[in-house]
Structure 1
């Protein structure tokens, strides 16, 4: 199994939320690229955000954001033993 293009768009949008202030939401305008609008709708449909165009993270959204941040941190970590 691998990440689909739609999953990547959802993850990238999710990572735009400010985890240091859960009182800060986001708004995806209808003029935004179609994949961004679709990602916002999908996050809402999955119960991760409060509105179909962004809004605030739900409790589940906060949990998924934390996992996404950890995943990104691990993937961005330089390997200890790089090949010669």
Structure 2
């Protein structure tokens, strides 16, 4: 069985919070947020999935990835 890191799971949870239908709506991660959320946002930014280190908007790649994630979540629900 593959073992997934807590960081990866935090990234998935954060990515799922982004609006799935628009690149005009985003998220802002505040400095007071849980460190794991701040780390997840930085990682998503480093991967080119969001526009800012503290959230921002989904990039084109982020929008596509979030769309896949939402389909997966619907299938598993």
Q: Which runs of 4+ in 1 moved over 4 A?
A: none
Number of aligned residue pairs: 76
Task: Quote the offset at 1:69 in angstroms.
Answer: 0.5
Distance in 1 between residues matched to 2:3 and 2:60, nearest whole Å: 26
TM-score (norm 1): 0.84
Structure 1 unpaired stretches of 5+: 77-84
Show CA shifts across 1:18-70 (max 9, x none).
11222001100111001000000000000001100000110000010011111
User: Relative to total residues, which structure has the larger helix share, 1 or 2?
Assistant: 2
Structure 2 unpaired stretches of 5+: none
> Relative contact order (alpha carbons < 8 A, sep ≥ 6): 1 or 2 greater?
2
In structure 1, the partner of 2:30 is 29
TM-score (norm 2): 0.92
Return the index of the structure with the highest Cα Rg.
1
